[in-house]
Chains A and B, each alone.
Chain A
Amino acid sequence: MTASSTASRTLPILDAHGAVDHAAGAERFTADVDRTTWHDGALWFVREKRDRGAASVPEWERLRDLASAIKSHTLSRLDEYLERFERRATARGIQVHWARDGAEHNEIVLGILAARGARRLVKSKSMLTEECGLNAHLERHGIEVVDTDLGERIVQLRNEPPSHIVMPAIHLKKEEIGATFHEKLGTPAGLADPDALTAAARRHLRERFLGADAAMTGVNFAIAETGGVVVITNEGNADLGTALAPVYIASMGIEKLIPRAADLGVFLRLLARSATGQASSVYASHVHGPRPGQAMHVVLVDNGRSTQLGRGDFWGSLKCIRCAACLNTCPVYRRSGGYSYGSTIPGPIGSVLTPGLDVRKYAALPFASTLCGSCSAVCPVKVDLDQQLYRWRQLVMAAGGAPPLKRWWLRAMGGVLADPALLQLAGRVARGMLRVLPPRLARRLAGGWGTGRALPEPPRGSFRDWVRANRPGRS
Chain B
Amino acid sequence: MSAREEILRAVRAARVATFGNAAPALPSLPTVGEWPGGADGAQATRSALVDRFMVSAQGAAARVVRTTRAGVAQLAASVADSLRVDGDGARDPVVLSMVDAVHGNMAVPDDPHELATLDLFVCEGEIGVAESSAIWLPTSRLGQRAALLLATEVIVVLESAAIVADLHAAYAAVDVGRESFGLFLAGPSKTADIEQSLVIGAHGAKGLTVALIDG
Which A positions have Cβ atoms within 8 angstroms of B?
Answer: 42, 45-46, 57-59, 62, 66, 69-70, 72-79, 82-83, 92, 98-100, 104, 148-151, 154, 167-170, 172-174, 177, 194-195, 197-199, 201-202, 205-206, 209-210, 223, 225-228, 234-237, 239-240, 243-244, 254, 259, 261-266, 268-269, 272, 276, 278-291, 300, 302, 306-307, 309-312, 315
Contact = CB atoms under 8 A, between A and B. Distances in A.
Q: Which 7 A-B pairs have the closest CB atoms?
A: A236-B204, A310-B14, A280-B132, A151-B193, A226-B177, A289-B180, A235-B202
Contacts of A264: 167, 171, 176
16 contacts: A62-B30, A79-B11, A100-B3, A210-B113, A227-B177, A228-B176, A237-B203, A244-B113, A254-B11, A261-B175, A265-B29, A279-B186, A288-B180, A291-B181, A302-B7, A306-B14
Given A73-B26, A261-B177, A286-B176, A310 B18 contact: yes
Given A265-B170, A279-B59, A300-B7, 9 more contacts: A79-B15, A167-B193, A240-B149, A261-B175, A264-B176, A272-B132, A282-B188, A310-B13, A310-B15
Contact of A174 (B35, B175, B194, B201): B194
Given A70-B27, A194-B194, A278 B60 contact: yes
Given A239-B183, A262-B171, A312 B204 contact: no
Contacts of A266: 29, 168
Contact of A173 (B4, B11, B189, B195): B195
Contacts of A167: 192-193, 196
B166 interface: yes
Interface string B168-210: 1011100111011111111111111111110101111100000
Contacts of A312: 17-18
A287 B181 contact: yes
A103 to B, nearest CB: 11
Contacts of A198: 191, 194, 199, 201-202
Nearest to B205: A236
B44 interface: no
Nearest to A243: B146
B176 A226 contact: yes
A284 B136 CA distance: 9
A169 B193 contact: yes
A281 B168 CA distance: 16
B134 A234 contact: no
A150 B204 CA distance: 12
Nearest to B38: A58
B89 interface: no
B29 A234 contact: no
Nearest to B112: A244
Given A239-B149, A259-B26, A265-B168, A309 B37 contact: no
B36 interface: yes
A285 B135 CA distance: 11
Contacts of A311: 18
